[in-house]
Structure 1
Amino acid sequence: MKLVNSKYNLDIEFEENISNTLVLENKQHMIDVIQNLILQLKGDEGDFVLSSEKNVKFDKVVEFITNPFEIDFNNKKIATKLFEQLTAVASECVEEYNFINGKIVGTLDDICSKIEYSNLEYNLEYEWKSIFKLYNVRIGE
Structure 2
Amino acid sequence: MILVNSDWSRIIDFDNFKVNTIVVENIEYFRRVVSNFIGQIDGAEGKFSLSHENKGLDLSKKALLISDIFDVNPSLKKANGKINKYIKTLSIDSFEATRNITSDLEKYIDELLTDIDLPIVRSETIDIDDILKISNIHVEQGEDIIENLVNIFNVCTDLLDIRLFVFINIHKLMTSYEWDCFIKTVILKDANVLIFESEVPRDFYIDNGIEKIYIIDEELCEI
**Aligned residue number for residue 17 of structure 2:** 23
Which structure 2 residue ranges, 5 or more long, are not aligned? Answer: 24-32, 142-223
CA 1:101–1:45 in structure 2 vs 1: closer, same or farther (change >3 Å)? same
Percent identity, aligned pairs only?
15
CA RMSD of aligned residues (A): 4.3
CA 1:45–1:94 in structure 2 vs 1: closer, same or farther (change >3 Å)? same
1:23 partner letter: F
**Greater relative contact order (Cα < 8 A, sep 6+):** 2
**Aligned residue number for residue 40 of structure 1:** 40
Aligned pairs, number: 122
The structure with more strand, counted as a fraction of residues: 2
Which structure 1 residue ranges, 5 or more long, are not aligned? Answer: 11-19
CA 1:117–1:22 in structure 2 vs 1: closer, same or farther (change >3 Å)? farther
1:41 partner letter: I
**Aligned residue number for residue 133 of structure 2:** 133
Post-superposition CA distance 1:47-89 (Å, at most 9, x none): 52679xxx8753355203589xx38553312212222222222
Provide the C-alpha distance between the structure 1 equivalents of 2:128 and 2:57, rounded to a whole number of angstroms.
28
Post-superposition CA distance 1:82-125 (Å, at most 9, x none): 22222222222211111011101111222222222356242312
Provide the C-alpha distance between the structure 2 equivalents of 1:115 and 1:91, rounded to a whole number of angstroms.
34
1:86 partner letter: I
1:83 partner letter: N
Q: Post-superposition, which runs of at least 4 consecutive aligned residues in structure 1 deviate over 6 A?
A: 2-5, 7-10
2:85 is aligned with 1:84: yes
Provide the C-alpha distance between the structure 2 equivalents of 1:78 and 1:3, rounded to a whole number of angstroms.
24
| Contact 2:102 2:127 (C-alpha < 8 Å) held by counterparts | yes
| Contact 1:65 1:71 (C-alpha < 8 Å) held by counterparts | no
**Aligned residue number for residue 124 of structure 2:** 123
**Aligned residue number for residue 17 of structure 1:** none
2:132 partner letter: F
Provide the C-alpha distance between the structure 1 equivalents of 2:79 and 2:87, rounded to a whole number of angstroms.
12
CA 1:107–1:58 in structure 2 vs 1: closer, same or farther (change >3 Å)? same
Post-superposition CA distance 1:26-53 (Å, at most 9, x none): x9xx67xxx57555225223452679xx
